[in-house]
């Protein structure tokens, strides 16, 4: 998980405090309807006890972050993240809605009954609060299979009806060694009977120790023709301050070596030709290391991976970050299908039939689902795991089942 400066954390705390002051102002308008003084006082004390406690917990965690065991630190950070989101977002929505209605005089006027304020307050504040709770406790591991059929003019006859499973962004450290959760996803994947399984990076948050015992789970994944993977930005350990370059490199090598235990072929700026001895039935599976726009590192070398590759072969590229597709794939190569992850779909989105929206779209042009440019396709998987906010709202953990058609 990315490190933030102390100044950034202080700004976050000030934002929390500012929103809570505004929320308390409106809360007083509501609590004045309560007759018992002790109940009213208890509500006020509880409000500020939680606010001050949360801000102090954030600051203390930031100051002591480097002294806490990494396993415990990950749990504390994600728990605090959940508390901040479940507190800040509902209060912010509550303050915005009530303030707009009040200052525009749309609802409130001298003739309006004052009871309408707590009613709107309860709805605008508690509704998002319960939605967030749902995302944390029920939405986080509600795995969903997304069935996607892609029609490609360039698809050879022998690849017609090819069955691909695409998964991404496991972030195994966040499962806290609860193997049974991911085993449910493994069982679902195997029921699809895929020809290939592709994993597009972010196996861990930072550390190789997160992988303990997971080889047994991932080894259960069955693909008729093969399992392939690439590295994501979190797999390099770039978000941890290592004691030495050697320690960081050993961590990376341990993560790379893990794939040998799972039956996955890790592709590091290279191409694997399937059916190599039969020219008419060949398939090129290209895998590059992570390549992203700054501040993300650009370890990937696509030109190295495709050097000497026959232009006539049907090509599938595994590249963790979808920005790579726009920068180096479309109009610069004849790669037919690119599979990516990375965005998580922000783990929060509004999806209505074929329409989808998430704030992440303002950062990533291609953030979830299928995209096309001429005869080239990109699919962005929203991830099986999670990072930061320990929940998913509208953007369920994804297993993509792709069927290729001509």
pLDDT in tens, 112-149: 555 676 677 778 888 899 999 999 999 999 999 999 99
Residue 111: pLDDT over 60:
no
pLDDT the model gives residue 406:
79
Tell me the pLDDT band of 105, cut-offs 50, 70 and 90. Answer: low
More confident: 99 or 320: 320
The set of residues, in sequence order, having a beta carbon less than 8 Å from that of 84 and lying 6+ positions away, is 12, 16, 54, 58
* Portion of the chain with pLDDT greater than 70, in percent: 95
Task: State the DSSP H helix or E strand holding residue 346, giving kind and residue range, or none if neither.
Answer: none
Torsion angle of the four alpha carbons 76, 174, 20, 127, in this order, in degrees rounded to the nearest 10: -140
pLDDT one-digit tens code per residue, 207-253: 999 999 999 999 999 999 999 999 999 999 999 889 999 999 999 99
- Give domain limits for the chain: 6-137, 144-405
Phi first, then psi: give them for residue 232, nearest 5 degrees: -110, 175
More confident: 153 or 145: 145
Tell me the pLDDT band of 262, cut-offs 50, 70 and 90. Answer: very high
- Distance between start and end Cα atoms, the chain: 41
Question: How do beta strands 283-287 and 270-274 pair?
Answer: antiparallel
According to the CATH classification, is domain 144-405 in 3.40.50?
no
> What mean pLDDT do residues 32-46 have?
87
pLDDT the model gives residue 108:
52
Q: What is the mean pLDDT of the chain?
A: 91
């Amino acid at each position: 998980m990315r490190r933030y400066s102390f100044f950034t954390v202080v700004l976050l705390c000030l934002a929390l405090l500012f929103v809570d002051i505004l929320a308390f102002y409106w809360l007083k308008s509501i609590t004045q309807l309560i007759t018992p003084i002790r109940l009213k006082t208890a509500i006020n004390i509880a409000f500020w006890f939680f606010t001050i406690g949360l801000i102090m917990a954030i600051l203390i965690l930031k100051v002591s972050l480097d002294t806490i065991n990494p396993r415990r630190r990950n749990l504390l950070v994600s728990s605090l993240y959940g508390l901040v989101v479940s507190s800040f977002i509902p209060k912010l929505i509550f303050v915005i809605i009530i303030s707009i209605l009040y200052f525009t005089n749309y609802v409130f006027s001298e003739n309006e009954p004052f009871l309408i304020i707590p009613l709107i307050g309860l709805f605008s504040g508690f509704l998002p609060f319960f939605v967030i709770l749902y995302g944390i406790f029920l939405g986080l591991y509600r795995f969903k299979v997304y069935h996607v059929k892609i029609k490609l003019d360039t698809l050879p006859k022998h690849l017609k009806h090819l069955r691909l499973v695409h998964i991404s962004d496991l972030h195994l450290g966040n499962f806290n060694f609860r193997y049974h959760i991911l085993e449910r996803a493994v069982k679902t994947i195997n029921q699809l009977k895929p020809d290939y399984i592709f994993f597009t990076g972010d196996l861990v948050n930072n550390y190789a120790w997160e992988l303990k015992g997971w080889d047994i789970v991932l080894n259960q994944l069955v693909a008729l023709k093969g399992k392939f993977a690439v590295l994501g930005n979190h797999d390099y350990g770039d978000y941890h301050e290592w004691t030495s370059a050697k320690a960081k490199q050993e961590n990376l090598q341990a993560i790379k070596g893990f794939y040998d235990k799972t039956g996955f072929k890790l592709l590091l700026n290279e191409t694997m030709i399937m059916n190599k001895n039969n020219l008419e039935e060949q398939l090129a599976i290209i895998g590059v290391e992570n390549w992203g726009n700054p501040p993300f590192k650009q370890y990937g070398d696509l030109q190295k991976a495709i050097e000497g590759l026959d232009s006539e072969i049907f090509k599938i590229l595994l590249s963790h970050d979808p920005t790579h597709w726009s920068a180096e794939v479309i109009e610069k190569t004849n790669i037919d299908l690119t599979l990516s992850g990375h965005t998580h779909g922000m783990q929060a989105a509004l999806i209505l039939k074929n329409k989808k929206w998430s704030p992440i779209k303002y950062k990533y042009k291609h953030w979830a689902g299928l995209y096309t440019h001429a005869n080239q396709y990109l699919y962005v998987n929203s991830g099986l795991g999670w990072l930061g906010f320990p929940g998913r709202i509208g953007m369920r953990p994804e297993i993509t089942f792709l069927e290729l058609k001509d």
